[in-house]
């Protein structure tokens, strides 16, 4: 999710308006609906039992800042932070506090944790690395602009994407710049950046000009560049085509969706377009067992066949509820909404299976699935660990808000 930012490369951020205001102006959705009133949730009989393992609060959350500070989970710990720069390490199974530090940073991105190191981006355009052991600073590097995307890393390289169209490859141990890839960004973009993905010797990155790029990890040279969507329209608003949500790699195929544009499947080795279809999404896509799951910009949740892009089902019961990026857990797609509910949707047919309130201020970031646990971080700082404790094989009738239809 993102607000809309008018981007001046010298002044960085000049103007921001909310996505809701933007949709009011354009009245756009993947189905052409102009309705923007959030769908009212209706009661239904849940077919699953969701158990809360533990709950805590992480500082002040994001307050009124439009950022997504997604936690990072490892085998033993979960690391979380707030916009005021407080960083916490918790036992992943119990929620017990291990350590906490005041970094002094205005954290603007989600966290990543691997190889004994926690990384995050800041509002003033820095990437910071800290020790998983005690939160002490290992290094920091000044970049060209604000970092909203979660940094990615392997044993040698840290990838950091900034909102001004730069992707940096840094030496993991020191933060020294190895290379930088740059592309031109439009005047008006969604406030958000998809996180890059490391795939073998390549870095895959999506940009606000609708372009998906494969870059050689060793030297930063592009291997291929694919324009997923071409900007069309007379106004800058109509020409927004950001790849803002997460894209998904499965096998040798990458799936990506743009705002006000298209969703595509692309062969990673060649950059060849496999299939493409009309869709507007800023939440991103996930894949499991041959199906793609995507919340679109109107708040409809879709399932598609990943080999052809054909429609399988659509759930309209969360329209205009500002959905988070989706996650896969067991037989369900999980999405959060602007009122702080976490919705459990059946992968089989799109029906609602469960719902739990996480944070009254909303759930903006993608749920984290680790082992048999789901971790959900709310906008005001609530952090909950959930488990699926029971699943009814023959659920009673569900009373579902909105329409749900299977598509052939």
Residue 295: inside a domain: yes
Quick: pLDDT tens for 28-51. Answer: 444 444 557 999 998 999 999 999
Task: Identify the pLDDT of residue 194.
Answer: 79
Residue 67 has pLDDT above 60, yes or no: yes
pLDDT at residue 378 in the model: 95
Please state the rounded mean pLDDT for residues 87-107.
97
| Residue 390: domain span | 20-47+283-408
Answer whether residue 77 is part of any domain: no
Q: Report the pLDDT averaged over residues 111-134.
A: 97
List the CATH number of the domain containing 351: 2.130.10.10
pLDDT, tens digit, 9 for 90 and up, residues 226-239: 988 766 666 666 54
CB 26 within 8 A of CB 8: no
Non-local (6+) Cβ contacts of 111 within 8 A are: 69, 70, 71, 72, 79, 80, 81, 118, 119, 120, 150
Task: Identify whether the C-beta of residue 1 lies closer than 8 Å to the C-beta of residue 68.
Answer: yes
The verdict on residue 160 lying in a domain is no
Between 261 and 231, residue with greater pLDDT: 261
> Taking 80 as the threshold, does the pLDDT of residue 94 lie above it?
yes
Q: Is residue 361 part of a domain?
A: yes
Please tell me the predicted confidence (pLDDT) of residue 3: 43
Phi first, then psi, for residue 163 (nearest 5°) are -75, -10
pLDDT, tens digit, 9 for 90 and up, residues 306-346 = 999 999 999 999 999 999 999 999 999 999 999 999 999 99
Average pLDDT value for residue range 115-135? 97
The answer to whether position 196 is within a domain reads no
The answer to whether residue 34 sits within a structural domain is yes
* Three-class DSSP category at 55: strand
Note whether residue 371 is domain-resident. yes
| The two three-digit tokens of residue 344, written as one number | 């459990």
pLDDT tens-digit readout, 189-209: 455 577 899 999 999 998 888
Has residue 378 been placed in a domain? yes
pTM, two decimals, is: 0.86
**In the structure, how many helices (H) and strands (E) does the chain have?**
1, 36
């Amino acid at each position: 999710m993102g607000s809309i930012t008018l981007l001046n490369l010298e002044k960085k951020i000049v103007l921001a308006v909310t996505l809701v205001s933007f949709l009011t102006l354009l009245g756009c959705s993947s189905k052409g609906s102009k309705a923007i009133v959030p769908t009212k949730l209706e009661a239904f009989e849940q077919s699953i039992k969701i158990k809360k393992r533990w709950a805590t609060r992480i500082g002040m959350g994001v307050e009124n800042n439009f950022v997504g500070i997604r936690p990072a989970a490892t085998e033993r710990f979960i690391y979380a932070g707030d916009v005021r720069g407080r960083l916490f390490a918790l036992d992943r199974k119990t929620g017990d506090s291990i350590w906490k530090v005041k970094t002094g940073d205005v954290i603007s991105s989600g966290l990543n944790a691997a190889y004994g190191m926690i990384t995050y981006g800041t509002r003033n355009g820095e990437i910071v690395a800290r020790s998983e052991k005690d939160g002490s600073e290992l290094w920091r590097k000044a970049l060209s602009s604000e970092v909203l995307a979660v940094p990615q890393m392997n044993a040698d390289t840290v990838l950091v994407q900034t909102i001004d169209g730069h992707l940096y490859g840094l030496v993991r141990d020191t933060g020294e710049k190895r290379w930088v890839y740059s592309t031109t960004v439009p005047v008006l973009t969604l406030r958000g950046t998809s996180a890059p993905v490391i795939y073998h010797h390549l870095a895959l990155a999506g940009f606000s000009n609708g372009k998906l790029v494969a870059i050689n990890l060793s030297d930063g040279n592009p291997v291929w560049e694919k324009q997923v969507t071409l900007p069309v329209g007379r106004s800058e608003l109509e020409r927004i085509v950001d790849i803002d949500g997460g894209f998904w790699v499965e096998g040798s195929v990458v799936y990506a969706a743009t705002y006000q544009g298209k969703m595509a499947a692309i062969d990673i080795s060649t950059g060849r377009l496999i299939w493409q279809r009309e869709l507007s999404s800023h939440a991103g896509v996930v894949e499991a067992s041959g199906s793609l799951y995507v919340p679109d910009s109107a708040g409809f949740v879709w399932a598609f066949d990943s080999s052809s892009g054909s429609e399988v089902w659509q759930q309209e019961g969360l329209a205009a509820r500002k959905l988070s990026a989706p996650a896969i857990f067991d037989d369900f797609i999980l999405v959060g909404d602007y009122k702080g509910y976490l919705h459990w949707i059946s992968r089989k047919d799109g029906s609602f299976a469960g719902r739990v309130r996480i944070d009254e201020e909303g759930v903006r970031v993608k749920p984290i699935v680790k082992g048999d646990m789901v971790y959900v971080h709310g906008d005001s700082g609530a952090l909950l660990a959930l488990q699926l404790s029971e699943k009814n094989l023959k659920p009673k009738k569900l009373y579902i808000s909105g329409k749900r239809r299977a598509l052939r």
